[in-house]
Amino acid sequence: MTAQQETRPHAAAKPVRWAADTVATMREGARVRLDYSAQSLWRVDRMIEEIRREAPPPAAVESVLRGFGAYAGEVIVRQTGAEWWAAGGDHWVRTPDGRLWDPVEEARRCFAGHGSLRLLCRDATGSR
């Protein structure tokens, strides 16, 4: 077993926690149910758009965006059997076909008005 294989399960610990915290926060605070389905990412994209319209500084919403990105990553993991990978504090999802996806960065792109977690999931899962 290589060192990289040994650290793989550990790579999932933080993003899985961030996703679970986001689900709980949305359920309790915003009364929005997130069920780890691809369809739920429509709601997440809309919530990010609403936050963007309020124009907070990016640093003020970084943890929220990280949570939404981790949630989208978990949707991909659950639908495809993908794995979380980590290096240098960054987290990616590696789908079984070997492609790497960066849902946390995609959440930041959504906030900037240039991305979509729903479309990222569609591309990563091969759904249309």
Are the C-beta atoms of residues 11 and 66 closer than 8 Å to each other?
A: no
Whole-model pTM?
0.89
The interaxial angle of helices 117-125 and 103-111, nearest 10 deg, is 150
pLDDT tens digits for the chain (128 residues)? 444 444 445 778 999 999 999 999 999 988 999 999 999 999 999 999 999 999 999 899 999 999 999 999 999 999 999 999 998 889 999 999 999 999 999 999 999 999 999 999 999 998 64
In angstroms, the CA 4 to CA 1 distance is 8
The stretches of the chain forming alpha helices (DSSP H) are: 3-25, 40-54, 58-80, 103-111, 117-125
